[in-house]
Structure 1
Amino acid sequence: MFAVSVAPHAALLGLCCFLYFVVYPVIVYLRDAKGLRKFPNMTPLSGVSSLPFMIVAHGGGRSKHLAELHKTHPVIRTGPNTLSYSDSRAIKDIYGHNTKCIKDASYVLTAGSHFHLADVIDKPEHARKRKVLSSAYALKNLESWEWKVADKTAKLIAHIDTCCTAPLAPGQRMPDKDDLNLDFRAWSNFFTLDAIADIGLSDKLGFLDRGHDRVTARRTDGSKYECNLRECLYQNARKQSLLIWPYEWYPFLDKIANIIPFYGRMGKLSRDWDGIPIEFAHRRLERYQAGEKLDDFFQALMEDKNGNPNNLEWGEIVAEISIMMNAGSVTTAIAIANVLFQLLKNPEVKNKLVEELDAALEDEDMQGVVPYDRVKHLPYLRACLDESLRLFPPTPQALARETPPEGLYILDDHIAGGVSVGMSAYVAHQNEVHFPRPNEYIPERWLGEEGKNLQPYFLAFSAGARGCIGRNISYLEQTVVLASLLRRYEFALPHPQWEIERLETMNWILGPMPVKVWKRQANYA
């Protein structure tokens, strides 16, 4: 009798689900109230459901997939309410200083109790935050903090010295397996984490000293636990990148997916990450309350340049520290690993860069950290950095924006209000109109006036008023580390055809990068 009474209810529930998840989306698609049906779909079902994009995201290379599709279509509908662009003219419309677009709902979904500078949507609130933080990120401050970058570079050099082996024999193309004893990917990440913690919080994490990223974190109830920072940080972003695309369902999917071990592990690591900036903030607050006046990011959060309190809520301070430790370490570490990888894959480019460095530095900076002031204006060094950022931007995904209620024109098409629009940096950098031979590493494209003319199409740090506030600190770290290492060492990949593993989440998750390293011979100790 129980089975008989349940059956009609189950059938009714099934019918309701079919109507809601299948029939209703089809009706919305056919009704086309926002006029999006004129744009080509990523897949036949993309106008009806976000599921196809979720499937592509699980493949770990959605921006590469979009780049292929955009070779024939400047606008692609990737979801029922989402458009992807590849035509560079759309950059100004979507991201320009005067655009009426705002960050879309995805930033609300991934925010914590308080918005930080990178996810705040309200424009006046963003302006307030940027005013508070602009002094901390100003170039004059960054150069005064160069000694912190130099200190961490010296520690990186000290470790690499212990990994040095004999040079490759003449004609030897593949190093011995035992000589591949430096995971450059891991150590470049230890460097960026140690550097941003010192610059931002005057905190000595000591990853470069210890060779691991084990940290103490704090729950909101004050209890503490230990975890591996990098693992928590990257898996937190990965889960979001897989599940967020049907925005209205993400909170439910985020919770229910934890039943599946694959997502459950990422969910636990995400929660573990939440306690890391809380602990870092508490440690720094104790020093501040004890009267320490330190020249760092935290001090700028607490007081303006005249010493007046900013009176920020504690949740906002923790949120800003969280994004500082995240964006301030992840993207630069990816960039440093990427540029060395590209130079080793293109030895003629590397040799040209080393010649520029040697000519600028002569014999006086052979052993230690190269001073930033001596190399910051070297054109080929900067070109090598920018070309690596172009080829594999650390944040490849489209940073989504929402059109204003009244809509706006993008590429001469009127787009209705409330539509998510965006352009992947990877897609933008594959545009052959501006970047001929886009899959090749050609730093020369960035030199002279031609290089200046490419800047409006360069999205490695996004664009407009919401462009990355930390780009100066990233360039400082990349410049000092790359110049110092190329001045002192030679490197070799496992073999000439070796490729680093790349998994696209919100950023690239890079696999290990084992290299053989030895000290340069001529004129070097």
Structure 2
Amino acid sequence: MSFELVSLPYAAALGLCSFLYFVVFPIAVYFRDANGLRRYPNMHPLSGISAIPFMILAHGGARSTYLAKLHQKHPVIRTGPNSLSYGDHRAIKDIYGHNTPCTKDGSYIITAGSHFHLADVIDKHDHARKRKTLSSAYAIKNLEGWEHKVADKTDKLVKHLDACCTSPLKPGEMAETKDLTVDYRKWTNFFTLDAIADIGLSEKLGFLDRGHDRVTGRRLDGTTYECDFRDCLYQNARKQSLLIWPYAWYPFINKVSNIIPFYGRMAKFAQDWEGIPIELAHRRLQRYRAGEKLDDFFQALMEDKNGHPNNLEWGEIVAEVSIMMNAGSATTAIAMTNVLYQLIKNPTMMKQVVDEIDAALEDEDEEEEETGTIAYDKVKHLPFLRACLDESLRLFPPTPHGLPRETPADGVNILGDYIPGGVSVAMSAFVAHRNEAVYPQADKYMPERWLGEEGKSLQPYFLAFSAGARGCIGRNISYLEQTVVLASVLRRYEFALPSPEWQIERLETMNWLLGEMPVKVWRRERKTAPGVGGEGRLTVT
């Protein structure tokens, strides 16, 4: 008997088993409806049976935008066999609030390394331990200690922008291609990477000095290699965002997909990314062992505020360095790009915030005029400046992805409905921020909505930094960096996009992957105005 004849029954059996497992079983589970999720409208006709529709949506790079449109009609949508998306702002407290019994869901487990870090740890007690270890380093009181590091990086950014300045743009004139001398997206990312490396590890990456993000990675065997920091970081996150949705199958799909060049390239970047925090942590550990006492996050990882060792495992230290370099750079750079983009697009808002900055700095000394870097203390309380930042974060939150939570074993009430245990629930920040009931004219850039008592009333529905006990621990650093950079560049320069109609490219992963943002930049005109006693002083117009 030939081999082909023998193998036919086995092939048929395999095909039958596959059909039963991948088709019949999911349909049976769907109609059995043990969790009672069939009462909710499906994102796609097959969403109650398979995660494939959500995977396909993810490949389009705009899943939150799509969900926002669906949520205009439906407060709750079933996005997968065991997952729900919420669009009603009242669900924020139930899912993410301080007293919620929901925990981070299985997606954080399957993407974690050998050790959990602060952002992906599931266990609440372990999270509390980690947060206590790091909270002193991230506290508001330490902003003064970090500001000189932020100022140093701002000086370097200003130095580059000075070198790229062109002649002023005339009214009604469009920027010529040759005058688009700065990719603001790239250089603000260099800024945030240099800043967080210095703040967290007292490491001088030097991206702003060199104009590129070439960096050294370290393999587990101690050998090193060169790679591009941003490509490794963003392509790693992109691959996860495309394939993660069938949680149980993700480890298998993640490996098998590498035979396809599209995913294989991303896998290579992901592999290279793993060695970057290892190398950075290794270098900082050598300095620690040499007796250097430095004011950074690494010191807080190694010792408590009384100098007692924390005795963390090396894998946990590397994990915390990894999330610090990831979350501590990517989202803030996105925010910096977005806010300047919005202000250029809205000249009236631009004039108002520039006037506010100028008024606050009208008695500024010659040092500021020379360096261009504005002290945080002089602009941190400017209401319209902060409103411009918050409105940009609302309109395009750097992390639009709905951060999934798992309901507790005994279930939980969300929007007054009982949801059984083990269900993944989420609310996208993009969806929450486009809710017309909370943010009238939600598609418009309107910083004034954040002023006064009205602005305070919006804070419970602001998800740019998530919410509750798992909210972003680094929001104070982010605001420090955003405020200093925006105030400094608006005080010193004017900007123009390629054209009034030009749009920046956005690709949603877990964060937004932004395309280049080429701008024309020039120094603001200055004139001498009469001062006290007939003396002249420089003013910015």
Question: Following TM superposition, by how much is the alpha carbon of 1:202 offset from its aligned partner in structure 2, in angstroms?
Answer: 0.3
User: Where do 1:98-497 residues align within 5 Å?
Assistant: 98-172=99-173, 174-364=174-364, 365-367=368-370, 368-497=372-501
Q: Distance in 2 between matches of 1:405 and 1:274?
A: 34
Question: Following TM superposition, by how much is the alpha carbon of 1:281 offset from its aligned partner in structure 2, in angstroms?
Answer: 0.2
Q: Distance in 1 between matches of 2:434 and 2:77?
A: 16
User: Where do 1:85-96 residues align within 5 Å?
Assistant: 85-96=86-97
User: Where do 1:12-51 residues align within 5 Å?
Assistant: 12-51=13-52
Question: Following TM superposition, by how much is the alpha carbon of 1:363 offset from its aligned partner in structure 2, in angstroms?
Answer: 4.6
DSSP-derived class of the 2:141 partner: helix
Q: Distance in 2 between matches of 1:522 and 1:458?
A: 38
Q: Distance in 2 between matches of 1:50 and 1:65?
A: 16
Q: Distance in 2 between matches of 1:295 and 1:409?
A: 44
Question: Following TM superposition, by how much is the alpha carbon of 1:522 offset from its aligned partner in structure 2, in angstroms?
Answer: 2.6
Counterpart of 1:366 in structure 2: which amino acid? E
Q: Distance in 1 between matches of 2:302 and 2:388?
A: 37
Q: Distance in 2 between matches of 1:407 and 1:336?
A: 40
Hey, what does 2:76 align to over in structure 1?
75
String of CA shifts for 1:390-422, please: whole Å, max 9, x gaps. 000000000000000000100111001000001
Question: Following TM superposition, by how much is the alpha carbon of 1:2 offset from its aligned partner in structure 2, in angstroms?
Answer: 1.2
Question: Following TM superposition, by how much is the alpha carbon of 1:466 offset from its aligned partner in structure 2, in angstroms?
Answer: 0.2
DSSP-derived class of the 1:516 partner: strand
Counterpart of 1:470 in structure 2: which amino acid? G
Hey, what does 1:522 align to over in structure 2?
526
Q: Distance in 2 between matches of 1:143 and 1:101?
A: 35
**More displaced stretch, 62-71 vs 367-376:** 367-376
Contact 1:57 1:242 survives alignment (8 Å): yes
Counterpart of 1:461 in structure 2: which amino acid? F
DSSP-derived class of the 2:526 partner: coil
Identity %: 74
Contact 1:488 1:519 survives alignment (8 Å): yes
Question: Following TM superposition, by how much is the alpha carbon of 1:256 offset from its aligned partner in structure 2, in angstroms?
Answer: 0.2
Q: Distance in 1 between matches of 2:265 and 2:347?
A: 41
DSSP-derived class of the 1:145 partner: helix
Contact 1:366 1:487 survives alignment (8 Å): no
Counterpart of 1:54 in structure 2: which amino acid? M
Question: Following TM superposition, by how much is the alpha carbon of 1:4 offset from its aligned partner in structure 2, in angstroms?
Answer: 1.0
Q: Distance in 2 between matches of 1:363 and 1:339?
A: 26
Q: Distance in 1 between matches of 2:30 and 2:159?
A: 60
What TM-score comes out, normalization by structure 2 length?
0.96
Question: Following TM superposition, by how much is the alpha carbon of 1:142 offset from its aligned partner in structure 2, in angstroms?
Answer: 2.1
Counterpart of 1:83 in structure 2: which amino acid? L
Q: Distance in 1 between matches of 2:326 and 2:172?
A: 42
Question: Following TM superposition, by how much is the alpha carbon of 1:245 offset from its aligned partner in structure 2, in angstroms?
Answer: 0.1
Q: Distance in 1 between matches of 2:85 and 2:207?
A: 39
Contact 1:132 1:304 survives alignment (8 Å): yes
What are the ranges of 5 or more consecutive residues in structure 1 without an aligned counterpart?
A: none
DSSP-derived class of the 1:78 partner: strand
Q: Distance in 2 between matches of 1:98 and 1:60?
A: 33
Contact 1:429 1:435 survives alignment (8 Å): yes
Structure 2 residue 511 is matched with structure 1 residue 503: no
Q: Distance in 1 between matches of 2:281 and 2:166?
A: 41
Question: Following TM superposition, by how much is the alpha carbon of 1:31 offset from its aligned partner in structure 2, in angstroms?
Answer: 0.3
Instruction: Name the count of aligned residue pairs.
Output: 524
Q: Distance in 1 between matches of 2:11 and 2:469?
A: 52
**More displaced stretch, 359-368 vs 348-357:** 359-368
What are the ranges of 5 or more consecutive residues in structure 2 without an aligned counterpart?
A: 528-538
Hey, what does 2:532 align to over in structure 1?
none
Q: Distance in 1 between matches of 2:393 and 2:307?
A: 38
Question: Following TM superposition, by how much is the alpha carbon of 1:139 offset from its aligned partner in structure 2, in angstroms?
Answer: 0.8
What TM-score comes out, normalization by structure 1 length?
0.99
Question: Following TM superposition, by how much is the alpha carbon of 1:457 offset from its aligned partner in structure 2, in angstroms?
Answer: 0.3
Q: Distance in 2 between matches of 1:171 and 1:91?
A: 45
DSSP-derived class of the 1:189 partner: helix
RMSD of Structure 2 on Structure 1 (CA)? 0.8
